[in-house]
Amino acid sequence: MTAPAAVSRWRSPVGGAAVPRLGVGLGLRPELEPLVLEGTGPIDWLEVVAEHYMGRPGAVERLLGLAGGHPVVPHGIELSIGTEGEPDAAYLDDLAGLVQMLNAPWFSDHLCFTRTTEFDLGALTPLPLSEEVARSVARRARAVQAAVGRPFLLENIAYHLRMPGELTEAEFITAVVEEADCGLLLDLANLLQNSINHGYDAYLLLDQLPLERVVQVHLAGGVLGTDGRYHDTHSEVVPEGVWDLLAYLCDRVPVAGVLLERDQNLHRSGEILADLGRARALVEDGR
Amino acid sequence: MSGVAEALARLLVDPEARRRLSLQPQGLGAAYRLTDEELKAMVDLDPEALELAADTLRRKRLARLSAVYPWTLKALHLGSGGALGKFMAGHPPAAGGGPAAALEGERERFRRFVAGRSGPGADLAADLLRFEECKRRLAMAARPGVHGSGERVVLRCRWDVLSTGAALDLAPPRLEPSPGPVRLLMSLGGTPGAATVRIHRLVPRER
């Protein structure tokens, strides 16, 4: 494999370099392993749920064998960057160990909270859109990035509940990633869902984000419910609305990694391969 | 974290707190030391969206329990007058010790809840729970640290119903109703285990 070219405009404060271009990737699920092993699809890299491998060197070795030399990026779901207090030291140790074992070019988690002092919700929950919360989250994100020693990306989440606060969603995201000096994992399916369910212009929001910090993109397909709400179920082909957003984004900034998330209807490999192929074509057009 | 997020978490896990929000919001404000402005923001939350978010959370909790205790949940869902709803409302997902410990705490609360029930269907649910817990412990003992990473664990059992089952991904049961207790002997990766189960009725898991 030749070394991938560096593409991001954002230069991480850790590592000292722009992040490399990975191309088009697939979120690894057990049922998708045969697709990866076949090696015929347009899959340049893999993303895995970080917590499934943290502190499990045997599982990581197996994963590296499966990846066959392709880059693997850990994507966390339990960091809970919005929870008050210091990030859990043992968790960060395990995460740093995983990132090192994978030699991952970056790692990511969600801009949300999943637990409070009282409850462990186990679900990505939106944060109050306040300056105080943004500063607090940014301080922790900066600490996480420093502790792990690789570029850290935060992902915008989908939400049913629009949270109160003096900032807009775009202002909140911007405040966090700029103050933390971390990258942005832009989930275009989440953006589409929120724009439909909360009645705003996704492109307007996109224009208000610091796009130069976008390192990675998530694509996924959901369903429009009978209640008129869009549900990002990761079960269907990527909808045209998401492809349009990706094309819009690729026209403006280079994106180091485009990743397809699929969690249901995993047997429909034809759909998955078609989505991956379309993503690759779009990304290559944008070069 | 601001009191707003703490209060929101309470609203998401506690139906009674949601009900009181419109009637007596001062209680929530006092409990989480919200300013007048913050409390007003909570009261102004879209009630429909709040219920939707709470329902999403409830379903995620059920999905996590169902991954380990699918037959038990099916038995509770089928036969016991809102038992699952009572568990969800009465046993919020307490924090403590990190996500893994919190998840184990949730399972422990669920096991106590099922074991403590009485009335129609309670025995069946309790038996299924013991069986599924035995399988889980067997699987974890045999392949520590592998679960959740995509490894499929296959149990070898004396009965066809379990021959293709995996600890976290059971095939639909095909056993005929059996009137009395049966002892299931299993081995996984050389680790022996056993469970005593009384099968009253089994319903294939929906795919």
* Residue B110 zone, left/alpha/beta (φ > 0; ψ -120 to 50; rest): alpha
Higher-pLDDT residue of A82, B150: A82
What part of A 141-170 touches B (C-beta under 8 Å)? 159-165
> CB distance B145–A55 less than 8 Å?
yes
Global ipTM: 0.86
Average pLDDT, chain B: 71
- Token pair 């969600």 is at which residue? A110
A61 touches B at CB < 8 Å:
no
Chains A, B: CB pairs < 8 Å: 130
Calpha distance A87→A80 (Å, rounded): 8
**What pLDDT is recorded for position B122?**
78
pTM as predicted? 0.84
pLDDT grade for B138, boundaries at 50, 70 and 90: low
Q: Closest residue of A to B38, CA-based?
A: A164
Q: Which positions in chain B touch A62 (Cβ < 8 Å)?
A: 149
List the single residue in B13, B60, B148 with the smallest CB-CB distance to A119. Answer: B13
A37 in contact with chain B, both atoms CB, cutoff 8 A:
no
Put simply, the answer to whether A113 touches B6 (Cβ < 8 Å) is: no
Mutation pick from A161, A163, A190 vs chain B, by most beta carbons of B within 10 Å, is A161
Taking CA atoms, A62 is separated from A41, A56, A58, A88, A129, in Å, by: 20, 10, 6, 27, 41
pLDDT tens per residue across span A65-97 = 999 999 999 999 999 999 998 999 999 999 999
Interface test with B, best of A26, A98, A121, A265 (most B CBs within 10 A): A121
pLDDT of residue B159: 35
Contact A152, A166 (CB under 8 A): no
Residue among B2, B56, B148 minimizing CB distance to A52? B148
Contact B94 A119 (CB under 8 A): yes
Side-chain half-sphere of B155: how many Cα atoms within 13 Å?
A: 30
> Phi, psi at residue B78, to the nearest 5°?
-75, -40
CB-based contact (8 Å) between B45 and chain A?
A: yes
- Which residue type is seen at B156? R
CA atoms of B64 and A117, how far apart (whole Å): 21
B76 versus B201: the higher-pLDDT residue is: B76
- What mean pLDDT do residues A255-284 have? 94
CB contact under 8 A, B53 and A159: yes
Could you tell me the pLDDT band of residue A157, with boundaries at 50, 70 and 90?
Answer: very high
